[in-house]
Structure 1
Amino acid sequence: MHILILPSWYPNHANDIKGVFFRDQAQALAHYGHTIGVIALQRRSLRTLFPKKQNNKAPHFELDEGVPTYRCQVLEALPKIPYGNYFLYKRAAKTLLANYVEENGWPDLIHAHSTLFAGAVASEWGNENNIPVVITEHNSGFALNIYRPWQLKVADKATQGAQACIAVSPSLGEVLDQRLPSSKGRWEWIPNVVAERFNAPASKKYSAGPTRFLNLALMTEKKGQYDLLYGFSKLIGGGTKAELWLAGDGPIRAALQELANQLEVSSQVRFLGQVAPNQVPSLLQQVDAMVVSSHYETFGVVAAEALMAGLPVIATRCGGPECIVAEGDGLLVPPRDPQSLASAMDHIAKNLSEYSPHAIAERSKSRFSGAAVAAQLTYLYTRLLTSNSKVSQPKS
């Protein structure tokens, strides 16, 4: 089956974490036996028009582990004009789509990630050329209610033209039912892929010293690291021997470091900085548990990655983690609640031996591995291609 992937954002180089799960899914589908192509547009604002350095500039074409990947940059030059940046994006995307078809032939199906704007372009282009379209929505902006009316209209129209709509969590599907009327009742749940590099080694063991908790996230207020630090200070104050490793970077990093000093836990808190995707699996093998302290997540891929690596997970009930952390995998706690985080970390530290790394990893693999998710997507693709009469005659 020939599947063309059109993501709304995508990694630009090997160490880029932005949209890495889109690439993981494309690779998983290729390994499953499909013919896969990717069209990835990098959206740039006027503020980045003349950067001092342009490291890792993406090429226009590359074979990314055998997957043809077409790239270009789109300057979002019309931010204050409704539909302005969408039209710029659509023009660039349709040029790449034409180039792709000329060099690779017509795809059987196009799978877009996020309605704004890849899904909108895919929906229009697919209907123009009799190609069925699948849209997967990942975007937390719908739950946070940050979009303008014109953006919601673009997203809603995209779902009208799609033959299938996927949400990466049941919670996000419920939000989209409310925000996008044309899609109400149509959202199916298929999770994000966790790449094979996260598979737990057979010899995974917990550390013999203080229990090591890891938080891996962009350092912004919505990721809840303030709550986590307050909770961790309560944990340490109660006499539990533990360490907190904070991996990532962002606008509140300095404030978090200052808070750790104020709470007198700086000697037990490690700030690791940004961690490249290929370094995350080895990092997971150095810690005992993952903590996701977010205020909202559409999915929460780091929780699934930690489970695949055999780690128990503490996560807030913030949308996505509820469909990830199963019984025996860890604990779910309310968001914005430092005391609940402290109690959960204390429970994990005192009962770590009750969590089997092998059992946790196997449960996660059966749900989130590349093969498991590719099988679900293949079933959906096959259903569409056998039931949709539009696929038989693409335009020439």
Structure 2
Amino acid sequence: MAADRGAGGDVAVVTPWYPNPMQEWAGSFVRSMVEATGPGCGEFTVYHTEAWLMRRPAEEVEAAREAHRRLLPVALHPVPDAAGSRLVRVPVPTVPDYTFAELAVQHARWLREALGGEPIPAPVVHAHVGLRGGWTALENARPGARVFVTEHASFLDKVLEQPDSREMYEQVLERCTGFLVVTDVLRDTLAEAFPALAHKIEMISNPISFGAPRERPVTELRRWLYVGTLVERKGVGWLLEAFAECLAEDPGLTLTMAGPGVLARRLEERAAELGVGHAVSFLGAVAPDEAARLMREHDLLVHPARWETFGVTIIEAVAAGLPVLVTRCGGPERTLAGIETAAGEMIDVEENASSIVDGYRRLRDRFPDGLDLAKAREILDGRFGYRTVAEAHYRHWFPEAPANKGTANKGTANKGTADGGEEA
């Protein structure tokens, strides 16, 4: 074990999501976990099994896979990454219409190819998402390894609807050492699906960095920000309609929408129809550091999602000193429990713009004296900060080790996410 590493043992992370040059925002919540936990461990290796979709005839797909198999040993080069970790990217050739279980089989197969048929050497393996991460880790862990799985996915219901995927998921729950979820919404879903295994499910949140707050406090709520994917589930259509109504009252308002999605063009067209195009900026996908900068430079995060399992972006906004206007959509009412009015304003999920408009007016009318962002930030740091989350993982990973305190880097720069991570 290197002398400058923490007191814990070696750890491997297996994940289908991780930031890459083409998608810098993808899986940034996984990198945050690496940043949070890496300093307290020995050698730390991240295996990113990345799906490469092939839309070709069957014979061409098989030829491509055979070529890929021959090239893989030559192409794999571990590179340094966050918190002194090593990153190994493993391309996984896939085709359309796979079930989640079939995808997991491919991820496990190609990681085994990358390892030359040998098991993952680390005694502790932590996987992200139940099948593409959990199954892949279990199929490649060494005998006696402690394998943990964290579920983040907001599409878990779709996984469990597929019979083969549901069966595989149950096997993952049975075989893993410990199964973690980032919110009790996911815990309740899994406990209902697999009641005999509910005792294995525990909750540890995604880690959020609180190390880079804004230089100056927000003084007015005029520069709106949305960070996330531009899809129906995020309520972005209603957000644009609400902004147009509020802009009619206050021509100085602006809205920045950062993130990719199938609704991008339609939203731009609708902004022009509403006559608000001059006040709305569509940035497309942004890197995590850019998302964090945007949060420090705007006045209000508006997040009107229809459903979230956690809502990483909301916590990141408060960490950056930004008030939030957010729907009670599953995760946020739990993550912000007890500090809803200190952090901003919560509104019900309604299929209209008026609920967002009314929520904004209430928030504006009690700003700034009706908020306590410093208190909200402090409480959320205690719930979701790097140190808190890292120590929770250490207790699972290294149960025989002395308390591993003070090893997590609480001051690591904030790594925002343009899609909320688990909400992809």
TM-score by length of 2: 0.79
Between the aligned partners of 2:280 and 2:95, the Cα distance in structure 1 is 42
Give 1:269's aligned residue: 280
* Aligned residue in 2 for 1:373: 389
Residue 14 of structure 2 corresponds to which residue in structure 1? 6
Which moved further from structure 2: 373-382 or 346-355? 346-355
Unaligned ranges ≥5, structure 1: 51-57, 387-396
- Partner residue, 2:213: 200
Residue 396 of structure 2 aligns to a residue in which SS?
A: helix
For 1:190 and 1:311, how far apart are their aligned partners in 2?
A: 24
Match of 1:46 among 36, 51, 54: 54
Contact 2:217 2:321 in 1 (8 A): no
User: Structure 1 pair 267/183, CA: closer, same or farther in 2 (3 Å)?
Assistant: farther
Q: Tell me, yes or no, if structure 1 residue 218 matches structure 2 residue 235.
A: no
SS at 1:42 equivalent: strand
Per-residue deviation, 1:91: 1.4
Deviation at 1:62, TM superposition (A): 0.7
Q: Does the 8 A contact of 1:285 with 1:309 survive in 2? A: yes
1:34 Cα deviation after fit: 4.5
SS class of match (2:297):
coil
Aligned partner letter, 1:92: W
Whether the 8 Å CA contact 2:24–2:286 is kept in 1: the answer is no
Q: What are the superposed Cα offsets for residues 238-296 of structure 1, whole Å, 9 maximum, x if unpaired?
A: 55853222111221111111222233333332222222111122211111111111122
Offset of 1:169 from its aligned partner? 0.8
Instruction: State how 1:72-151 maps to structure 2 within 5 Å.
Output: 72-77=90-95, 79=97, 84-97=102-115, 106-126=121-141, 129-144=143-158, 147-151=161-165
- Highest RCO, 1 vs 2 (Cα 8 Å, sep ≥ 6): 2
| Other-structure match for 2:45 | 37
Q: 1:223 to 1:138 in 2, by over 3 A?
A: same
Q: Which residue of 322, 328, 335 corresponds with 1:311?
A: 322
- Tell me how far 1:131 sits from its aligned partner: 0.9
Q: How far did 1:344 drift?
A: 1.5
Query: Quick one: distance in 1 between partners of 2:131 and 2:150?
Result: 11
Once the 2 structures are TM-superposed, how far is the Cα of residue 29 of structure 1 from its aligned partner? 0.8
Matched residue type, 1:71: R
User: CA offsets per residue over residues 5-44 of structure 1, 9 Å max, x none?
Assistant: 1112222238611101101111211123453211111111
> Which among 14, 24, 27 is matched to residue 32 of structure 2?
24
Q: Following TM superposition, by how much is the alpha carbon of 1:334 offset from its aligned partner in structure 2, in angstroms?
A: 1.8
- Between 1:11-20 and 1:128-137, the stretch displaced more is 11-20
Alpha-carbon distance in 2 for matches of 1:162, 1:384: 18
Which position in structure 1 is the counterpart of 2:85? 67
**Residue matched to 2:166:** 152
Aligned-residue RMSD, C-alpha: 2.8
Structure-2 change in CA distance of 1:78 and 1:239 (3 Å): closer
What is the aligned counterpart of 1:340 among 355, 368, 372? 355
Q: Which of residues 361, 376, 389 in structure 2 aligns to 1:360?
A: 376
Note closer, same or farther for the CA distance 1:45–1:384 as it changes in structure 2 (3 Å cut).
farther
Distance 2:343 2:210 in 1: 19
Q: Secondary structure at the match of 2:375?
A: helix
Query: What corresponds to 1:390 in structure 2?
Result: none
Identical pairs, percent: 25
Count of residue pairs the alignment pairs up? 372
SS at match of 1:285: helix
Shift of the 83–323 alpha-carbon distance from structure 1 to 2, 3 Å rule, reads closer
> What TM-score, normalized to structure 1?
0.84
Q: Which moved more, 1:264-273 or 1:163-172?
A: 264-273
Q: Is the 8 A contact 1:204 1:357 kept in 2?
A: no
Amino acid at match of 2:151: E
Cα distance in 1 between the residues matched to 2:118 and 2:330: 36
Alpha carbons of 1:63 and 1:232: their partners in 2 closer, same or farther (altered >3 Å)? same
> Is contact 2:328–2:349 with CA below 8 Å preserved after alignment?
yes
- Kept in 2: contact 1:156–1:181 (CA 8 A): no
Kindly tell me: are residues 239 and 86 of structure 1, through their superposed partners in 2, closer, same or farther at Cα, counting changes over 3 Å? closer
Q: Is the 8 A contact 1:193 1:368 kept in 2?
A: yes
Q: Which residue, 359, 366, 369 being the options, matches 1:351? A: 366
Amino acid at match of 1:111: H
Question: Distance in 1 between the 2:158 and 2:329 partners?
Answer: 12
- The answer as to whether partners of 1:193 and 1:370 remain within 8 angstroms in 2 is yes
Gaps of 5+ in 2: 1-8, 65-74, 403-424
Match of 2:206, SS state, is coil
Secondary structure of the residue that 2:368 maps to in structure 1?
A: helix
- Alpha-carbon contact 1:163-1:384 (below 8 Å) kept: no
| 1:173-206 deviation digits (Å, cap 9, x = unpaired) | 1112233455324321211112355x214x3222
**Which letter does structure 2 place at the counterpart of 1:119?**
G
Aligned pair in 2 of structure 1 residues 130, 167: CA closer, same or farther (>3 Å)?
Answer: same
2 CA distance for matches of 1:75 and 1:124? 18
> How big is each residue's C-alpha offset from its partner over 1:93-127, in whole Å with a ceiling of 9 and x where there is no partner?
2234567868xxx323111100121101223444x
